[in-house]
């Protein structure tokens, strides 16, 4: 049977120990299941990867195109010209959001309006946690689900 050496960061020691408790005798089985799930998730997303081009309006009103290889998670640009609307009451009616995962593992958030066929805002984020502050909770949750993850809206109650 092949053997692999796994090194755990000091900061992940508690996580590893908790996993050992839950896994019982078969930590390798737990790791294999987690790896299978991770690979399945990446293959689903990578299978949808393609060339994405987004028209973006700059501050002067000029529309330019930005392109990358990625997969739409939420709001592929065929919905009402651009993106999907949030159901949150604090968001202006007609504001649309689109979220994509890039081939390089980053995330792109585009914000526009359904009366326009281009984005007003195009922003790149290094990881999913960074973009959640920029999105309504329902859009973040939909993007997380499409990305094979989950999003929890933390309440201050």
pLDDT of 124: 94
Whole-number pLDDT of residue 107: 92
Q: Count how many Cα atoms sit within 13 Å of the Cα of residue 145 in the half-sphere of its side chain.
A: 8
pTM listed for this prediction:
0.65
Domain range for residue 41? Answer: 10-46
Domain count within the chain: 2
Residue 85: inside a domain, yes or no?
Answer: yes
Q: Is 154 a domain residue?
A: no
| Per-residue tens of pLDDT for the chain, all 157 residues | 678 888 888 988 888 888 888 877 777 888 888 888 777 777 666 667 888 888 888 778 788 888 999 888 888 754 345 667 677 666 777 788 889 989 888 999 988 877 776 677 889 999 888 888 888 888 888 888 888 776 777 777 8
Question: Is 126 a domain residue?
Answer: yes
Q: What distance in Å separates the CA atoms of residue 154 and residue 157, rounded to the nearest whole number?
A: 9
């Amino acid at each position: 049977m092949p053997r692999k050496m796994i090194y755990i960061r000091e900061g992940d020691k508690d996580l590893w120990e908790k996993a050992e408790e839950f896994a019982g005798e078969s930590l390798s089985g737990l790791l294999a299941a987690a790896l299978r799930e991770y690979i399945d998730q990446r293959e689903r997303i990578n299978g949808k990867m393609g060339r994405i081009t987004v028209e973006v309006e700059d501050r002067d009103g000029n529309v330019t195109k930005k392109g990358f290889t990625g997969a739409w998670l939420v709001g592929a640009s065929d919905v009402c010209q651009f993106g999907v609307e949030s159901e949150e009451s604090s968001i202006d009616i007609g504001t649309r959001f689109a979220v994509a995962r890039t081939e390089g593992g980053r995330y792109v958030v585009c914000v526009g309006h359904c009366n326009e066929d281009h984005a007003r805002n195009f922003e790149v984020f290094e990881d999913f946690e960074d973009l959640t502050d920029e999105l309504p909770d329902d859009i973040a949750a939909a993007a997380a689900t499409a990305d094979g993850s989950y999003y929890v809206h933390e309440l201050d109650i």
